[in-house]
Structure 1
Amino acid sequence: MPIDDLQLAAQKIAAFLAHLNKLGGFRLKYRITAGDGARDPQGLEGRVIYVELGGPDTPLLTQHNGELLRALETLAVQMLRLDQREHDLVSFDAGNYKALRAQELKMAAETAAEKVIRTGVPYTFPPMNSRERRLLHLAFRDLEGVETASSGEGQDRFLAVYPAGKTHLPIAAPSRPRGFGRR
C-alpha cells in the first residue's frame, strides 16, 4: 500500500536514524525530504521520500558497493510496511553514491554494448540487486543493436546482453565475486 501520511513516515525514519546514531554509535547527519521535493530529477526512481545522509561515517555507508546504505533503506521500507513492489518509494543516498553508481553503470552498459555488437557474443554482468539491473536495462534501452534479459534467481540474478534478435544464444551464468561474508 502506498504511503498515506508522508510526514508521519518521515518522522518514523528520523526516529530510526536518531536511534541508529545513539545506540549504534554512528556519526551521521540526515535530511529527509517528502512529497514533491523528493522526486528523482532523473526519473530513475519513483521515490516520495528521499533521505540524504552525510557526516563522518558516510564512507561506512558506501563501502562494499553501498551494502549498508541499501540495508538502511530496506529497514526503512520494512518499518513503513511497504510492499516489495513499492520499495522505490523510499530512497537513501550518501555522498551522491547512487548518482555516481548510475553513471558508472551507464558507462559499463555502453562498453558492453560495443563489445557485443563488435563480437556478436553475449555478455553477462555479475549478479547485482534489482535497482542496479533496472538501471542497466534503462541504459541499454537507449542503445541500438543489443537486447537485454535478466536471468538467475535471488542474489544470483544477473543481466545478460545479446546482439539484437539473438536472445536464443547460450550464456554462462557469471560467478559471484568472493567478497564480504562469502567463503
Structure 2
Amino acid sequence: MTNPLKDQGSAVKEITDFLKVLEDTGNLDLKPHILACNGHVQPNADVPIGETSSVSPASEHSPLICVEFTGTDTPLLLARNGELLHAIEHIAAKILGLEPEEHDLIFFDAEGFKANRDKELQLAAQTAIEQVRETGRPYSFPPMTSRERRMIHLALAKSGLPTASSGEGPRRFVVLYPEGPAPTPPPATEDRTRAIRNSFRRR
C-alpha cells in the first residue's frame, strides 16, 4: 500500500491550516504543537515544513504526524473521554483523505491523555489474554473507537488467539476467543437488510 502521507510537508500544512481555522472560529485557548516526521516541532505555520531530507521511515503502525495541544481549554478536549479530541483528529484525517485503516498515521493528544490510554489498552489486552487462557471462555472488551479497536487487535495478535469485532457504530467492540477459529460475527443491520432483499428478489 502506498503511503498517503508521502508528501508530509503538504499534509502538515493542511493540518496547520485546519487548526488555524479551528482556533479562529472556536474561540478556544488551545495551542497546537505539530511534530512532523522529521522530529521537529512546527508550531508556526510560516516555518517551512517537511523539507528535511533525512527522514527515518516509520513503522507500519507508527503515526507520521503528531499534534500536542496545550492551553487553558485543554480540559474541554478531554471531557467525555476525549470526545472533542477524537472528533478533531477524525476531521483532520478526513481532510487528509485517509481511509479508516490509515487513521493511525496521525495522532492528536493533550496532557498525555491518549498516550496514557494507549498504555491502558496494552495492559487490558494482556489481562484479557491471560483470562481467556485460564478460563477458556471469550473475553469482550468495552465499546471503543476504531483506532482503539485496531490497537487492541494488534496487541492481541501476538497471543495467537483469534479476535473479532462485534456490534455497530459507537457500540462496536472487540472479542478475544480461546484457541480455535473465531465464530463468525453476525452481519451488520445493513448487511442483513440487503440479504433479506436479495432473498425476495430470487423468489
Both proteins in one fold, TM over 0.5: yes
2:125 corresponding residue in structure 1: 109
Q: Is residue 2:89 matched to residue 1:73? A: yes
In the TM superposition, what whole-angstrom CA distance separates every residue of 1:72-100 from its partner, at most 9, and x where no partner exists?
11111222333444323222111122221
1:64 corresponding residue in structure 2: 80
Gaps of 5+ in 1: 172-183
CA distance in 1, matches of 2:6, 2:130: 45
CA distance in 2, matches of 1:170, 1:21: 42
2:190 corresponding residue in structure 1: none
Q: Is residue 2:127 matched to residue 1:125? A: no
CA distance in 1, matches of 2:81, 2:28: 19
CA distance in 1, matches of 2:59, 2:124: 20
Q: Is residue 2:29 matched to residue 1:14? A: no
Distance 1:125 1:142, change over 3 A: same
1:26 corresponding residue in structure 2: 28
1:150 corresponding residue in structure 2: 165
Greater Rg over alpha carbons, structure? 2
**Kept in 2: contact 1:116–1:163 (CA 8 A):** yes
Q: What letter matches 2:168 in structure 1?
A: E
Cα RMSD between the aligned structures? 3.0
**Kept in 2: contact 1:105–1:136 (CA 8 A):** yes
CA distance in 1, matches of 2:19, 2:169: 28
2:151 corresponding residue in structure 1: 135
Distance 1:59 1:116, change over 3 A: same
Q: What letter matches 2:93 in structure 1?
A: V
**Kept in 1: contact 2:166–2:185 (CA 8 A):** no
Distance 1:69 1:163, change over 3 A: same
In the TM superposition, what whole-angstrom CA distance separates every residue of 1:83-138 from its partner, at most 9, and x where no partner exists?
44432322211112222111101111222222222222211112212211111112
TM-score w.r.t. the length of structure 2 is 0.70
How many residue pairs are counted as aligned between the two chains? 169
Distance 1:45 1:99, change over 3 A: farther
Higher relative contact order structure (alpha carbons within 8 Å, sequence separation ≥ 6): 1
Q: CA deviation at 1:169?
A: 9.7
Distance 1:45 1:66, change over 3 A: farther
Identity across aligned pairs (percent)?
47
Which aligned runs of 4 or more in structure 1 are off by greater than 6 angstroms? none
**Kept in 1: contact 2:36–2:65 (CA 8 A):** yes
TM-score w.r.t. the length of structure 1 is 0.76
